[in-house]
Amino acid sequence: MNDMPVSMLFGILLLMLILSAFFSGSETSLMTLNRYRLRHLVKLKHPGAIKAQALLQRPDRLLGLILLGNNFVNTFAASVTTIIAIRLFPNVESNIAIAAGILTIVMLVCSEVTPKTFAALKPELLAFPAAWIFVPLLKIFYPLVWLVNLFVNKILEMAKIDVNKNNQDTLSTDELKAIIAEAESIMPHRYQKMLMGILDLESATVEDIMTPRNEIVGIDLELPLEDIINQIKTSPHTRLPVYKKTVDRIIGFLHLRKVLILINQEDFDKQMIISLLSKPVFIPDTTPVHSQMLKFKTEKIRIGLVVDEYGDVQGLVTMDDLLQEIVGEIITEDTTVRVQSDGSYLVDANITVRELNRFMQWDLPTEGPKTLNGLIIEFMETIPEAGTSIKLHGYPLEIIKGDDKAVKLVKFLPKP
């Protein structure tokens, strides 16, 4: 090499800088590839993606190959630079130190920062072509790579890290929710809410979505027949529970479509109503929503009463309630949360905490009370009067309406 012309030495140095940039950029590009997009491209039979995924199955071997190549070309470049410095400046005492300093700056800019920044911004543009080069290189230099990895793996084993275990990238539920929340540019808001609802099914129970006991609409057989007929004719529901005096004494469920064709007969009476009833279904309040949805489907039922551990009726749940947990309100317009001109929100206190969290992207606790009214009462340990202002788990609000039994309307103030 001492007999080579200086021009050829500069050519070799330039080649080493290019190779160093290639190794540095390809390392970053392969390691920053979106694994989920990569799997999608593999399914589409993308050749570069297939090779890149094969390399990433054993990142220890890939990194061993890249770093072997990178260290070799960097060391070779330093040797060439030393020879050039001696040839050009033989009488300068610090010629090698100056050349090393210049080479460090050039390599840092041209062979490290620039290619790695480019690779981080456009990983696929460099990763897929590089994969075509690394696959045969790995076969050629496999013995050397294996030897290096042998020592590396032993060190990692001492740290109790198993490099042979291929840990597939997985997302937690919270991470997946964060991805969906940030997908506003490619997904309508209503679809975001639906996906959030699906993810919440695992943690939701029927108690979270049931119609509470005090809001159950049913037929009391102790009432006069005329009142019962009027209720059947004007009911907005297709199925109603039928009971005597109290919902705890339920007899069954009545499908109004069956009774409406008989209601105008002269011999229509309460006994005819009883003959049309289906058997009541009782659901423990801790039943997961997804389990109950499957049970409704397999048993071909659409309504049931929610009971606690003592067998007392706590509420009512229908198939529509379960579906609304995913798709949102099916028929009526959602007016439980209204945005005000000053940036505040008027919220119906009967809204469930889970629904409010999903709508507002908040993290109010859901382990205790199921409604906003219950959460406020638990927080304050009393039923607050209208005009009371509090900071509920970090969210400032003002009680707008309420009575002696419950909070009715709340105004959430913009955070300062």
Where does the pLDDT of residue 23 fall: very low under 50, low under 70, confident under 90, or very high at 90 and above?
very high
- Higher pLDDT residue, 211 or 188? 211
SS3 content of the chain, % helix, strand, coil (to 5): 55, 15, 30
Give 177-189 pLDDT, tens digit per residue: 777 777 766 777 7
pLDDT of residue 416: 61
pLDDT of residue 169: 59
Q: With a cut of 60, say whether residue 167 has pLDDT above it.
A: no
Q: With a cut of 60, say whether residue 333 has pLDDT above it.
A: no
pLDDT of residue 266: 83
Q: Per DSSP, what are the bridge partners of residue 293?
A: none
H/E stretch holding 257: helix 256-260
Q: With a cut of 70, say whether residue 78 has pLDDT above it.
A: yes
pLDDT of residue 322: 83
Q: Per DSSP, what are the bridge partners of residue 170?
A: none
Q: With a cut of 60, say whether residue 232 has pLDDT above it.
A: yes
Q: Per DSSP, what are the bridge partners of residue 52?
A: none
Question: Residue 144, Cα to own-chain centre: how many angstroms?
Answer: 42
Where does the pLDDT of residue 203 fall: very low under 50, low under 70, confident under 90, or very high at 90 and above?
confident
Nearest to 292 by CA among 266, 318, 254, 328: 318
Q: pLDDT exceeding 70 applies to what percent of the chain?
A: 94
Amino acid at 71: N
Q: Are strands 345-348 and 407-412 parallel, antiparallel or unpaired?
A: antiparallel
Backbone angles phi, psi at 356, to 5 degrees: -65, -45
Lowest-pLDDT choice from 136-140, 164-168, 290-294:
164-168
Tokens of 383: 């039923």
**Number of other residues whose CB lies within 10 A of the CB of residue 415:** 9
Q: With a cut of 70, say whether residue 411 has pLDDT above it.
A: yes
The string of DSSP letters for 266-283 reads TT--HHHHHHTPBPP-EE
Give 312-322 pLDDT, tens digit per residue: 999 999 988 88
Tokens of 284: 């423990």
Q: Which residues contact 232 (CB under 8 A, 6 or more apart)?
A: 219, 240, 256, 259, 260, 263
Where does the pLDDT of residue 131 fall: very low under 50, low under 70, confident under 90, or very high at 90 and above?
very high
Question: What string of H, E and C letters represents the secondary structure of 19-52?
Answer: HHHHHHHHHHHHHCCCHHHHHHHHHCCCHHHHHH
Q: With a cut of 80, say whether residue 100 has pLDDT above it.
A: yes
DSSP 214: G
Within 13 Å, how many C-alpha atoms sit on residue 76's CB side? 19
Nearest to 253 by CA among 242, 237, 269, 238: 242
pLDDT of residue 57: 87
pLDDT of residue 92: 67
The three-class DSSP label of residue 163 is coil
Segment 158-164 shows an average pLDDT of 72
Give 109-126 pLDDT, tens digit per residue: 999 999 999 999 999 999
Give 359-374 pLDDT, tens digit per residue: 787 888 888 888 899 9
Q: With a cut of 70, say whether residue 340 has pLDDT above it.
A: yes
- Higher pLDDT residue, 105 or 181? 105
**Number of other residues whose CB lies within 10 A of the CB of residue 24:** 23
Q: With a cut of 70, say whether residue 332 has pLDDT above it.
A: no
pLDDT of residue 11: 92
pLDDT of residue 331: 42
What is the distance between the alpha carbons of residues 111 and 225, in angstroms, rounded to a whole number?
90
pLDDT of residue 168: 55
Question: Residue 269, Cα to own-chain centre: how many angstroms?
Answer: 54
Average pLDDT, the chain: 86
Q: With a cut of 50, say whether residue 330 has pLDDT above it.
A: no
What is the distance between the alpha carbons of residues 54 and 46, in angstroms, rounded to a whole number?
12
Domains and CATH numbers, the chain: 6-158 (no CATH), 201-327 (3.10.580.10), 337-412 (3.30.465.10)
What is the distance between the alpha carbons of residues 388 and 364, in angstroms, rounded to a whole number?
19
Q: Are strands 219-220 and 239-244 parallel, antiparallel or unpaired?
A: parallel
What is the distance between the alpha carbons of residues 153 and 165, in angstroms, rounded to a whole number?
12
Segment 386-414 shows an average pLDDT of 90
H/E stretch holding 95: helix 95-106
- Higher pLDDT residue, 90 or 251? 251
Nearest to 69 by CA among 149, 153, 141: 141
Where does the pLDDT of residue 274 fall: very low under 50, low under 70, confident under 90, or very high at 90 and above?
very high
Q: Are strands 282-284 and 303-307 parallel, antiparallel or unpaired?
A: parallel
Nearest to 338 by CA among 388, 415, 410: 410
What is the distance between the alpha carbons of residues 62 and 29, in angstroms, rounded to a whole number?
12
